[in-house]
Amino acid sequence: MKILVFGKTGQVAMELQRQADVVALARDEADLSDPTACAQIITNADADVIINAAAYTAVDRAEDEEELAAMINGETPTAMAQAAAVRGIPFLHISTDYVFDGSGEEHWATSDTPSPVSAYGGTKRQGEVGVAAAGGAYAILRTSWVFSAHGANFVKTMLRLGKERDTLSIVNDQIGGPTPAADIAATLLEMAKAFHAGRSESGTYHYAGAPDVSWEGFAREIFRQAKLTVEVSGIPTSDYPTLATRPLNSRLDCSALENAFCITRPDWRQGLKHVLQELGEIK
């Protein structure tokens, strides 16, 4: 099975390259701000499955660069999916919990109506709609709170701050499932195998780590495993204003993925342990 991956240095793309023999395209090979060029790559590709692991992910900056974010997150995935549909190649696309408004306390089901409250969430939703409408075999995988030993993420930020400060105030009213990038990559590869074998169903799926936790709780576990002595206090989102609105409830119902692919939610605490070991923080 030949897999073509859009993205090369992102967290999930890095893990895909670790776990499988894939062709991963860097930014200079696939200009995500050019939908036509990206579609042409698929038209000419020798691939059995396409995985789009690339996106505009600067949540706050997207408020000022919504047009660019819409191109990369919306128009380009749509064009990719359309080209894949013409070729008869399954198209797997990563999306986000940010397509929901974060209201309530129930887990968001794949059947729930998206209502993004940020430019980033809106552009990701645009991509979802385009991919689903392209007419080919597809899977949209919504995930949340991604972390790994690569790139910028919450775990690495907490490790840095935990070594610089004795006390930290962390948001405690946003709840979600931290998700190891390695597990997302493994899930995408399993889904790719199923699509390639013709035993899959197109649709939208959720995948997030368990158990659900606040950012404060996530930070406490990072410090506990890394053996960093930091006094953590919880604060509401209102005390930590950001340009883009963050959803308070990012709990995702992952039952559709389990039913279709027999893939269950990973324990993010185990994933965290592996990341800390890779970073040399623990043995």
Active site residue 120: yes
250's CB contacts (< 8 A; 6+ apart) are 97, 100, 102, 108, 144, 145, 174, 175, 176, 177, 208
- How many CB atoms neighbour CB 138 within 10 A? 24
In the three-class reduction of DSSP (H, G, I as helix; E, B as strand; rest coil), residue 183 is classed as: helix
Count of H helices and E strands in the chain? 10, 12
Q: Out of 56, 120, 138, 207, which one is annotated catalytic?
A: 120
Which residues on adjacent β-strands are paired with residue 4?
Answer: 23, 50
Gap between the Cα atoms of 192 and 200, Å rounded:
9
Question: What residues act catalytically?
Answer: 120
